[in-house]
Structure 1
Amino acid sequence: FYGAMDGATKFIRGDAIAGFLITAINLIGGIAVGILQHGLSFSQALKTYTVLTVGDGLVSQIPSLITSVAAGFMVTRSASQSDLGTEIATQLSSYPKALVLVAFILFIIALVPGMPKIPFITLALIVATIAYLSYMTVEKKEKEVKEKEIKKAMTQVKKSPETIIVQPDPLALEIGTYLIHLVDEKAGGELLNRIKNLRYKIAKELGLIIPLVHIRDSFEIDKNEYRILIKGVEVARYRVYPGKYLAINLGGVKDRLDKSNIF
């Protein structure tokens, strides 16, 4: 059956091509007959025989077009389980851009001299309206699908929170609340630049790439403390007192420091 339909469409295609050639010949021949035999001017002959030729072309081509479209529908819907009417409506409503193109073509046809303007403009408006409604429907369906996917993902997360695995930072630095200003560049903090320069120096001299250091404040340590973590494991912890100096007795100290400045 489908082989027979394929053969029929080939004959229809040839008939359509022949119809276009016949239309062109009729147009040229009609203008020549009007000028040479009936004594019409070129503009009058063009106006008269163009309308007649276009009408004859439409009459001969519309049946071929309908037959071709019907054959295409029957051949290509072999895998569909729904009836033909439902399938056509679904296909047309699923691709609003195709309907917009049809509306544009109908509007262009309405501008062709000799063509009935009101019917084609009316059809163009109807098709454009259907295209707009189809576009809104498709967009609504896409939003519904996205919302369902989001809800499904949220439900899965709620049901199985253990699936969320927080990867620890390769290298992290936690600081107390009194040390935050050392990181804030607006407050004159130089810690970030010093860490950056240190990583660059180690990479240049030793060829060892130090991972990026994730710096964050922590309430789990003392306000003046900081600690270094590797893969979430603490490897060092120290205290820092901003604005103070570290005094080390190397011997030979004569004067004692004020106790208020000693820690």
Structure 2
Amino acid sequence: MPTLKDKTLFITGASRGIGREIALRAARDGANLVIAAKSDAPHPKLPGTIHSVAEEVEAAGGKALAIKLDVRDDGNVAEAMAQAAERFGGIDILVNNASAIFLGTAQQTDIKRFDLIQSINTRGTLLCSKTAIPYLKQAENPHILTLSPPINLGKNWLGGYIPYTVTKYGMTLLALGLAEELRDCGIASNALWPQTTIATAAIEFALDKALLQRSRTPAIMADAAHGILTSDAKALSGECLIDESFLRARGVTDFEHYKNDPACEDLMIDLYIDP
């Protein structure tokens, strides 16, 4: 079975949610995990810090390096990548997971708020990817995985919260563009997005707590990410992948255990996914 043993994964936004779950899934293989996020101290409402996840990674069988990271800070990103490479002898995989959400219309979105989500989502993805590339060029089977949606230009997705949509589609364009730019280097770049909403702090606090019952756990995204990141980088690149579709193509047929509420029969389809 393909494994991430001894691979070094640099994961942004890894202190909770999907980033944390991807880290723990890789840790069970015996991977090296760079837990990079802003949360280095406990939050009164949000569980998890880079240090608590690092402890979980070690307990799961991996090696961990916790780094406080602001993906908007050029110097911070460069220093973090250098520190990770020095600690583990290189970087094999970058997971662009850090993201900010605000579901307001153009009229409702303050420009300073847009600047924030744009700087984290699109600019942060570009900055982290650009900084990681020299290290990835030295790796065997290197991957960049960006957690962003398929570019769906249906009118229903354009009217409601276009400022946020612009930043998430920007992440996807970067993922697709990097795949072509780096194809001759053997570095894969793909985007991954969930079929349904995922039970994370973003759902609970930024959207609607009631959606937690209609969501899947982050484990489905972690399993899909594991499958992508253990694939041949030269064979799988430049794709917008959906967790359920990808896993089904790999032979997975049972998705019941991914439900956050086992009794739920009405899962909520995620943003940008047509029914």
| TM-score (ref. length: structure 1) | 0.21
Structure scoring higher RCO (CA < 8 A, sep ≥ 6) equals 2
Q: Decide which structure has the larger Cα Rg and report it.
A: 1
Task: Point out the structure with the larger helix share.
Answer: 1
